[in-house]
Structure 1
Amino acid sequence: MIYTLGEAVYDILFKNNQPAASVHGGSMYNVAISIGRAGKDVAFAGFYADDFLGNQSRLFLQKNGVGTDCYRPVAKAKSNLALAFLNAQMVPNYNFYRDERLNGHPFEIDFSNAEFLVTGSFYAIDDHNFGNVLDVIEKSRKNNVNVVYDPNIRSKHLDEHPERYERIARMIELADLVKVSAEDLFHITGSKSHDDWKKYLNKHSAQKYILTQGAGPVEAVFNDEHFIFQVPEIDVVSSVGAGDGFTAGFVSYGIEAIKNRTHFELAIERGISFAGAVCRSNENYIAAENGN
């Protein structure tokens, strides 16, 4: 079983400043849907507003093979919204509208049959959620569950909140695998230097990590070995959820992905394939027929 933990939002995509599509989303929600569509055992842990959109988000998870026992309703809350304005390269600029009543709730997860816990994004380091997320990670580690962390950070998440840098560092130190983007590392370190990024990750004990760079090469470290993977050129419809697709592809490969170097490489190639599939549609996840 794979657990993903995070927030659910409803994404409205804009092209040329006009609404073009709308989908259920949220980083870890996206990861769960792609894993479910790939036919793997997965559950999403989080909280949803007990309104029309919230209940539809629960039904959508179930329709796509995602367990919802750890996805709990919150009375009187309103569903989170994300407006994604796509530029000419189909890269989004976001405006988020969140209901704080969906934050600050403890999780109840049975990790007895779990292989992975995947978490990250702003949700994990939010003032109201960080303590509860750490509790879940501690419980998962006691059950020998492998933790995958994806910061998925934007500059506005860190502005004037220095404590959040410390929380990101702590999450990296606790993770068995860190999947991070070039944009994440720029916002976290304030540098565009790969050497500075490597020093930062090494400082915080990241022995296995994957660095995605949009259409650029994927770089990865497995203990002391360094790998570079080229990304095929594709026609991008929307890049929303591409990184989440990569994470889903990697963890859906199976537990050997972080135990064995050869399988680590194969899982990265699967992640690249999933990310490409997400970019070819207006959805935030792979199409059901793409799973294998």
Structure 2
Amino acid sequence: MILCCGEALIDMLPRDTTLGEKGFAPYAGGAIFNTAIALGRLGIPTAFFTGIADDMMGEILLETLKASNVDYSPCAITPRPSTIAFVKLVNGQATYAFYDEGTAGRMITTADLPDLGDDCEALHFGAISLIPSPCGETYEALLDREAASRVISLDPNIRPGFIKDKPSHMARIKRMAGKSDIVKFSDEDLDWFGLQGDHDALAAHWLNHGAKLVVITKGAEGASGYTKDRKVTVPSERVTVVDTVGAGDTFDAGILASLKMDNLLTKRQVASLDEQALRNALTLGAKAAAVTVSRAGANPPWAREIGL
């Protein structure tokens, strides 16, 4: 089982009403939530941990998880409100107005951390849930607790507009990356860190920092995966892009799903992937992400849609 740990929120996406007026419609979302949904749809045993509100928006989140075969029993259900993000789309690119003060997801603490059984092989972290307090500290504490015995996957998924204290957030990501087995960056993420050099040099930096597999996605230019012994690059799938919401989250799911299906989701095996296993992981990530960008919103593919 893979446990995805991070934000679940309601995206208010722009929609036209039947009267032709501009409006918004609620959709379940959040980067780590999207990865959990994508994994569940790919047939991977998946669970999800965050704080979920016991309101009508929380019900949407739980129903969406259930519909995609994701176990939400690790979640802390609380009377606090749900996180809401109003989304503006320009040429398929999303910008957000974010409402998160005092919400169920933001206010989880270490007292809410789930106990994990032997069936949990990996944990996935990242995105905006690592920024605020107290949830940022809570997720980092969970990673620290489990890093010695389970595969840790991290996607920083940097959103500069949400980060008020860049040095503090950068320090957290570096600490967590140093204890992670798999770290995925977009080229925009790397720009935010201000590191100089080509992607090969930047991947080497993070491998030297502690990661066993570094993946760098480059949008339409594809993605590269690096271990201490090799580099593999795969092209992106050519599709008509509707929007990019959830693309990177789905890519994360493809990597983890491939490793799980190939029985490689252990710390030792992730550290010694051969070329074919790495290519399989990147290819499934690219294939799954291509379906997501070909339709509106974060709507990852089911296994049958990509031939699994």
TM-score norm. by structure 1 comes to 0.90
Between the aligned partners of 2:22 and 2:173, the Cα distance in structure 1 is 35
**CA-atom RMSD, angstroms?**
2.3
Pick closer, same or farther for the CA change 1:195–1:146 going to 2, 3 Å.
closer
Pick closer, same or farther for the CA change 1:207–1:189 going to 2, 3 Å.
farther
Post-superposition Cα deviations, 1:161-182, rounded to whole Å, max 9, x if no partner, equal 4111100101110100001111
* Contact preservation (8 Å) 2:225, 2:278: no
State yes or no: 1:93 paired with 2:108.
no
Post-superposition Cα deviations, 1:141-193, rounded to whole Å, max 9, x if no partner, equal 34x21000000111123344411110010111010000111111111226685
Corresponding residue for residue 47 of structure 2 = 43
SS in 1 for 2:297: coil
What letter matches 1:56 in structure 2? Answer: I
Corresponding residue for residue 290 of structure 1 = 305
Aligned pair partner of 1:266 in 280, 283, 304? 280
TM-score norm. by structure 2 comes to 0.86
SS in 1 for 2:109: coil
State yes or no: 1:5 paired with 2:20.
no
SS in 1 for 2:222: strand
Between the aligned partners of 1:112 and 1:247, the Cα distance in structure 2 is 23
Aligned pair partner of 1:122 in 125, 128, 138? 128
Aligned residues: 289
Between the aligned partners of 1:197 and 1:97, the Cα distance in structure 2 is 34
Corresponding residue for residue 165 of structure 1 = 170
Corresponding residue for residue 82 of structure 1 = 85
- Percent of aligned pairs sharing the same letter: 25
Corresponding residue for residue 280 of structure 1 = 294
Following superposition, the deviation at residue 123 of structure 1 comes to 0.8
Gaps of 5+ in 2: none
Between the aligned partners of 1:228 and 1:270, the Cα distance in structure 2 is 13
Corresponding residue for residue 212 of structure 1 = 217
Between the aligned partners of 1:131 and 1:125, the Cα distance in structure 2 is 9
Between the aligned partners of 1:9 and 1:202, the Cα distance in structure 2 is 32
Following superposition, the deviation at residue 21 of structure 1 comes to 5.6
* 1:169-248 matches, cutoff 5 A: 169-189=174-194, 193-194=198-199, 197-198=202-203, 200-248=205-253
What letter matches 2:300 in structure 1? Answer: I
Post-superposition Cα deviations, 1:206-232, rounded to whole Å, max 9, x if no partner, equal 331100111122111022311221112
Gaps of 5+ in 1: none
Corresponding residue for residue 140 of structure 2 = 134
Post-superposition Cα deviations, 1:22-69, rounded to whole Å, max 9, x if no partner, equal 420011110111111111110011111111011221122112100011
